[in-house]
Structure 1
Amino acid sequence: MTFVESIRTCFTKFADFNGCASRSEFWWWALFNLLAGVVLGIVSDKLSLVFSLVTLVPYIAVTARRLHDTDRSGWFQLIGLIPIIGWIVLIVWCAQEGKSPNKYS
């Protein structure tokens, strides 16, 4: 999946927590959010905050679908609330290759 396809898919499925998301879809979306947040933060902090709030639900949805692709529940995102260790675990899980036969396909 390309950068543009990933962004289009994430905005199209902005509140779809069912199904799976490929690694490329998730990581392109994460890169888009990082770059846009930094650029908008340079322009205006308020604009960056608005962008972050607008993309919060799509980010949670694509992360849930990515965890589904690794055969985990989307609720495992809550592990990210644990500082440092939770973030590392979530990054490792999202970087893993998807499991083709899983219960979320």
Structure 2
Amino acid sequence: MDFGKVLTKEFLLSLEGRINRGQYWAFILIYIAGAIVLGIVDGILGTGGILGLIYALAALYPSICVLARRWHDRGKSGWWTLIGLVPFIGAIWILVECGCLPGTSGPNQYGADPLAPGA
């Protein structure tokens, strides 16, 4: 997995197209690593979590974009991201659908298969 691709403007800010599970998990790992680092810095500086809050707000739109593109890979509308607003069930649904299940094979209405050769 090319972590550099996950940090590009197109990857983080576009609602168009599809991403595969590997790219999705790479984003999640980078996000969690950033949150951990900022949590440690918050603790050292005694800022009361303000850096973590700023980080979460700054990562909100990129997180929505990445999740919507993962839904696209599953052949579903990016609006499925809103299932995350349902307590407990929403998080499990997203974990299973976006994190565990493979995307649709071949092109779909959202674009070419990200795992296809040359994609």
The TM-score, its normalising length taken from structure 2, stands at 0.79
Larger Rg: 2
From 98, 102, 105, the equivalent of 1:97 is: 102
CA offsets per residue over residues 20-77 of structure 1, 9 Å max, x none?
0111111110111111112201211211211111111111001000100010101001
Secondary structure at the aligned position of 2:12 is classed as coil
Structure 1, unpaired ranges of 5+? none
Indicate the SS of the match to 1:21. coil
Q: Does 1:50 align with 2:54?
A: yes
TM-score by length of 1: 0.88
Contact 1:17/1:61 (<8 A) preserved: yes
| Paired AA for residue 35 in structure 1 | A
Aligned equivalents of 2:109, 2:29: Cα separation in 1? 28
- Offset of residue 19 of structure 1: 0.5
Distance in structure 1 (CA, Å) of the matches to 2:31 and 2:16: 21
Runs of 4+ in 1 over 6 A off after TM superposition: none
Secondary structure of the structure 2 residue equivalent to 1:97: coil
Deviation by residue 1:78-103 (Cα, 9 ceiling, x = unmatched):
11111111111111111211112311
In 1, Cα distance between equivalents of 2:56 and 2:25: 17
Unaligned runs of 5+ residues in structure 2 are 43-48, 112-119
Report percent identity of matched pairs: 40
- Aligned counterpart, 1:85: 89
Of residues 89-98 and 62-71 in structure 1, the stretch that sits farther from structure 2 once superposed is 89-98
Name the count of aligned residue pairs.
103
Matched, 1:2 2:2: yes
Between Structure 1 and Structure 2, the one with more helix by share is 1
